[in-house]
Structure 1
Amino acid sequence: MTGKYQDKVIIKNIISSETAFTPVKTIGSVPVNVSLVYPNTYSIGMSNLGFHSIFFQINSREDALCHRAFLSLKNSYPCEINTLEADKPINEYDIIGFSISFEMDYINIIKILETMKIPVFSQDRQTPLIMVGGPAATFNPEPLAPFVDFFVVGEGEEVIHEIMGKYKELKNREKQEILEALAQIEGVYVPSFYDIEYDREGNVQNITTTSLAPRQIKKRWVRDINKYDTESVILTPYTEFKDMFLIEISRGCGRNCRFCMAGYCYRVPRYRSMDKILERSEFGLKYKGKIGLVGAAVSDYPFIDELAEKFVENGIKFSVSSLRADTLREPLMMGLAYSGHKTLTVAPEAGSNRLRKIINKGITDEHVINAVKLAYQYSIENVKLYYIIGLPGETEDDIDEMIDFLTFLKDYMKALGNKRGNLTISINPFIPKPFTPFQWLGMESVGVLNERIKLIQNRLKPKGIKVIFESPRLSEIQSALSRGNRQTGLLLYDIYKSGARTSAFNKAEIDGKGIKYYAHRQLRKNDVLPWDHINLGLKKEYFISEYNRAIKGEATARCTDEKCKVCKICQHK
């Protein structure tokens, strides 16, 4: 069984296995038809609550429909990218919307457009309109700008309704007129209305508008997340979370970790009410045996202890997407143990306390030790720790301190009586991100990162500590795309046309500049940044101030409420 027939069988099997909480509409039965595409596998896409949320919001309208599509369904790439709900090619829809969370998926957008014989470059295309949203589109849309008609900057639950309404009104007009109207919606970025000038070094020199588009695109964000049930809209057995009903417990993070793009892009932190979470949990338990709580730091949720106790009282088992070692307490740990958790997962991030001060992590070795002890008291024996290497200011001494601490921690686990528990370390190279205090810095060299990973492996393996890591070479590509500009997008297109092999990434250049240049370049504080026309509500002076505090190892207090004066975003929202 091959080709289109095999694809249709896979689609039929997936659809028959799903439980959906939104009605399916027939393409062409409403004025606005959207194919929402996740440019990766079905399993990854259907684990993304943002994808679920936009799918639901569009389908909640009487005048619009949304059908889903994916680059890959089940371990193979389809001959055509067809929607699951209608088994129709995505180019038969008015708008193709891509949800982007990871830089490595950028090239998949090009692949999908070419596979469906849709002109890749926006300037060569009349229909359908290409819309892109998600975290990557918010912090730096520029590498995708040559291919995209418009971006949604920020959170989409409210702005998507304005987009649908405006498109319905102007559907039969010329593309230029439609885009001009969409550009007037706050949070919508139409890249063709902005001219980018470059200097001799290939850096952005100036950004100007060529239409009625605003000089800066202001991020959209949902002030009251209780208005929207951001949760599993479709249940499927083909994801990592197949046994859970997912519920967003909070949005944004105010911890001010200086390496973390999400903490700045989705500020101000907001929390869903406990009553709402309990209500939606009762609904989810009709279909799944466990609730998955999703948030940037679930243990930072103000009522997490009370919520955990309520869950246990009501016989509700749950899982969490993230924890912080400094906010773990007995009620939450008891609830996790009751729910069958076998592994404590926390992220010290940096190898030494000195480095954690630089990145403003706010976690000490003692926090990790106490978390491990508390977990073992509730029979959670396995421990997994996430670390970043190549952080600004990192030296071999920091790596040695990390190795010494992990060796101690393994012995400490045994001293507690934990003879069977595994200690696993996950290492990721530092990737500088836009809209962080480290946005001007280049990534550490691949050679140095490989040496440090090898050192960590060689010294921890004899201790029985498992080390897993992300390839520094892949991280280098992510780094180039993360802080890239439109030239980087053209470079990515050339790489795709050359087969997207490792050799293509190594050799491709535009004006003598390739992936290595964009990944490791240092930017000056007075440079025009490729994303300077995106307004997240935080001023550049704030990031410079935070960079200077990082160099001094000074702490910055976490966001507490709208009266704090740390970043002053609340005064400008």
Structure 2
Amino acid sequence: MEGRYELIEHVCSLLADEAGTLRKEAPYRVALCYPSPYHVGMSSLGYQAIYREVHAHAGATAERVFLPDDVETYKRTRTPLFTWESQAPVSSFEMLAFSVAYELELSGLFTMLELSGLPVLSSERDARHPLVVAGGPLTFSNPDPLEPFVDVLVQGEAEDLIHVLLEAAASMEREALLDHLAKVPGFRVPGRGGARYHVAKATDARLPARTQIITPHTELRSMFLIEPERGCSRGCHYCVMRRTTNGGMRTVPPERVLSLIPEHAKRVGLVGAAVTDHPRIVELLRTIVDSGREVGVSSLRADRLTQELVDQLRRGGATNLTVAADGASQKMRDLVDRKHSEEQIVRAARFARTAGMKQLKVYNVVGLPHEEDADIDELIRFTTELSRILPVALGVAPFVAKRNTPLDGAPFAGLREVENKLERLRKGLRGRAEVRPTSARWAWVEYMLAQCGPEAGLAAMDAWRAGGSFAAWKRAFQERGCEPYMARRVEDGRRQPTVWPIVPGRPPPQPSAA
């Protein structure tokens, strides 16, 4: 069939452009699934790290599979979802291991299971079907909505746990395996137990995560990614990867980082939650640039920038400087313990101008607890000030409270309220700065998934089956009785009120309807 042939031909053409693809014959085969398209999945450092770890395990091999760009062609031609390395049907593998980065990728997981010919609900699968496992960044916050669809949850850093899982899966029958994993820290088996929200920590010997396959067909074109540090030393109240998560920041010596960069890599990306907090970051950047390579950094903290650091980024090919403010005003930044000031961000803009960069990109959030119009006006005033130094692109995202953070349980500000704030920003900055907002509606959907339990996963399935519109999501949440976690969390087996940042003279924030 012509359409099916074209699908395989497309995959083979992308494979031909890869460097570092692994191929191995082994008795236990894992289909490593990413519920977003290839160009997104191949930019995921964690996904590539697990791909390497499975291949390093004796007796196991991994083949990749992604959410197709052309789902309708698969359906029209009745083509079963197949893996990239061998174009074998995904349903023929012993295990499907999903790496889920954030809440809205649930729909991609449903589609991949459907295209594989597998029941979406785990309750409708049995020993005839592959074992369906899920891990990834989402498990650091709230993996509960995944429970109805997976057999096993791998929680936290999986570089060590994947070997535990493969060892057990290759030697046990399904029922015995599930009973066994329910007792192993780091695993959760829905309906059978396992510590909830136990986030595993990889041993230092597994660090750093790094790219296995370099390809030009990604968000980060032909870039070799490597982490000079993992975790964070800071305590921002909204962040899942704060200093209390997995022991804080762990740094990797520059010498080890440099030894792992392949000779053919001409572009290097340093990835982590707080790369510029690495005590030897300038030295590392300088050495990479001196070797003739381009270099990028994923997380620039304004209070850590120096002229020399920004100059090295410019020498490495950067034309824009990106920093995160994460608070419309200084009051909001102080409220969430974001450790930088207006003066430090202004200084960063001046560093960028001196280095010859063309634009300053600033990421921010709106809709934090206690935020007022005056805070939005302060953001307008400050962004205007920055634009006099360098052209500014302001990325704005509605605040979404995540589990396992001090702001866990904080309410969503409300669709109308968030849209009003975004409109106020657009009007105030028209002709002065480019405003790039993300959708308030989809932020609310993300919030519901982040703050609800397994019933929200079932609502996501309903919305997906109904076409995936916002109206379908809203109706599904209502019909499934989804209630956000609002102001409560579990501590020592007892429910305690979540403590949000308190502003003297103001009542705690109250939930707003979508």
TM-score (norm 1): 0.82
Contact 1:359–1:550 at 8 Å: present in 2 too? no
Contact 2:210–2:226 at 8 Å: present in 1 too? yes
What SS is found at the alignment partner of 1:299? Answer: helix
**1:41-56 map, 5 Å:** 41-56=37-52
Distance 1:151 1:369, change over 3 A: same
Q: Which amino acid aligns with 1:53?
A: A
Hey, what does 2:274 align to over in structure 1?
Answer: 297
**Structure 1 position 312, deviation (Å):** 3.8
Mapped to 1, the partners of 2:196 and 2:470 lie a distance apart of: 37
Deviation string 1:328-365 (CA, Å, 9 cap, x unpaired) is 01331121111121111001111111111101001110
Hey, what does 1:358 align to over in structure 2?
Answer: 335
Deviation string 1:206-238 (CA, Å, 9 cap, x unpaired) is xxxxxxx445563210241x5444111011111
Mapped to 1, the partners of 2:135 and 2:73 lie a distance apart of: 23
Aligned residue pairs total: 498
Mapped to 1, the partners of 2:320 and 2:354 lie a distance apart of: 13
**Structure 1 position 462, deviation (Å):** 2.6
Hey, what does 2:53 align to over in structure 1?
Answer: 57
Hey, what does 1:567 align to over in structure 2?
Answer: none
Hey, what does 1:241 align to over in structure 2?
Answer: 220
Larger RCO (CA under 8 A, 6+ residues apart): 1
What SS is found at the alignment partner of 2:447? Answer: helix
**Structure 1 position 511, deviation (Å):** 5.2
Mapped to 2, the partners of 1:218 and 1:522 lie a distance apart of: 18
Structure 2 gap segments, 5+ residues each: 506-514
Hey, what does 1:165 align to over in structure 2?
Answer: 167
Hey, what does 1:457 align to over in structure 2?
Answer: 426
Deviation string 1:382-441 (CA, Å, 9 cap, x unpaired) is 111001000111000100111011112222x1xxxxxxx521100000001000111111
Q: Which amino acid aligns with 1:218?
A: H
Distance 1:540 1:300, change over 3 A: farther
* RMSD of equivalent CA atoms: 2.3
Deviation string 1:110-144 (CA, Å, 9 cap, x unpaired) is 12212222111112212211000011123211111
**Structure 1 position 313, deviation (Å):** 3.8
**Structure 1 position 512, deviation (Å):** 6.5
**1:61-460 map, 5 Å:** 61-73=57-69, 78=74, 79-126=79-126, 127-170=129-172, 173=173, 175-193=174-192, 213-214=193-194, 216=196, 218-224=198-204, 226-263=205-242, 264-281=244-261, 283=262, 286-411=263-388, 413=389, 421-460=390-429
What SS is found at the alignment partner of 1:235? Answer: coil
What SS is found at the alignment partner of 2:394? Answer: strand
**Identity in percent:** 29
What SS is found at the alignment partner of 2:379? Answer: helix
Q: Which amino acid aligns with 1:524?
A: A
What SS is found at the alignment partner of 1:231? Answer: coil
Distance 1:177 1:472, change over 3 A: same
Deviates more, 1:500-509 or 1:120-129: 500-509
Structure 1 gap segments, 5+ residues each: 194-212, 414-420, 534-538, 554-573
Deviation string 1:172-224 (CA, Å, 9 cap, x unpaired) is x2x2211011223220110121xxxxxxxxxxxxxxxxxxx445563210241
Mapped to 2, the partners of 1:228 and 1:368 lie a distance apart of: 32
Mapped to 1, the partners of 2:269 and 2:71 lie a distance apart of: 26
Contact 1:10–1:73 at 8 Å: present in 2 too? no
Contact 1:149–1:190 at 8 Å: present in 2 too? yes
**Structure 1 position 550, deviation (Å):** 5.5
The alignment status of 1:502 with 2:470, answered yes or no, reads yes
What SS is found at the alignment partner of 1:192? Answer: coil
Distance 1:17 1:359, change over 3 A: same
Deviation string 1:74-133 (CA, Å, 9 cap, x unpaired) is 797644321001101111000000000011111221122122221111122122110000
Mapped to 1, the partners of 2:116 and 2:206 lie a distance apart of: 37
TM-score (norm 2): 0.92
Contact 2:122–2:150 at 8 Å: present in 1 too? yes
Distance 1:16 1:359, change over 3 A: same
Mapped to 2, the partners of 1:95 and 1:457 lie a distance apart of: 48
Hey, what does 1:34 align to over in structure 2?
Answer: 30
